[in-house]
Amino acid sequence: MTKCGLHDLQYFKLPTSLKHLTPNQNQIQDILLYVDLHHLVKLYRIVMKENAISSLNDWILSLNLTYLDLSNNPITELIPPSDEIPEEANLFIDVRDTAKAHIVAFEKEEAIGQRLLLISEPYTYDGIAHIINENFPESRVPKGDLSKDKELKKNVHKYNSSKTNKILGFDFISLEQSIIDSVKEIYESK
């Protein structure tokens, strides 16, 4: 339990599940992705009601060099080059932005009582595969199909995070930058 910022809120984080990475340690073979969908809605509602604080809905993309952090409801895909890329689309926020947003939201008066939506942009596995192949031609992930990427993104939930952006006062890290940073870390750890 920790106390945080203006709200003098005591909060906790549930332990995360870890899955040991088993791919060939010399090459990037996978699209390693997790989307951390906090299943703490009940806790958030209680905390919001009792403390009139902000609630942050987290959709996180990140990578740990040794373990893939799979807290709560993960989507993890390890895709060999011969496999098909899943036809899925969802919304993305980088874990670094989520951490920063939590801190800023607890420190800013204008965040009190507000519900902040953390979304940088939509993503698809085809888009992620394309980013990896464009920036890391030596990777062994399948080629992403940008026409599928565009089509799948049409069915993603619509959102408006302008209020969140105004309150937080910083730009979110793009999906492309997040993927590049994560893959670089994997290569550098080898």
Alpha-carbon distance 15 to 62, whole Å?
17
Residue whose structure tokens are 């990427």: 149
Q: How many domains are contained in the chain?
A: 1
Position 142 scores a pLDDT of 84
Residue type at position 145: D
The DSSP line for 110-138 is: GGTT-EEE---EEEEHHHHHHHHHHH-TT
Position 15 scores a pLDDT of 32
Alpha-carbon distance 51 to 112, whole Å?
9
Q: Which domain holds residue 33?
A: 2-189
Residue whose structure tokens are 């984080």: 13
CA contacts within 13 A on the Cβ side of 160? 2
Alpha-carbon distance 180 to 188, whole Å?
12
Output phi, psi for 71, to 5 deg.
Answer: -70, 135
Secondary structure of residue 180 in the 3-state scheme: helix
Specify the DSSP class assigned to residue 30. S
- pTM beyond 0.75: the answer is no
**Per-residue pLDDT tens digits of the chain, which is 190 residues long:** 344 444 443 333 333 332 333 333 333 222 222 222 232 344 444 444 555 544 444 444 444 444 444 422 222 343 455 567 888 888 899 999 999 999 998 899 999 888 899 999 999 989 998 998 899 888 878 888 999 999 999 998 888 999 999 999 999 999 999 989 888 887 777 6
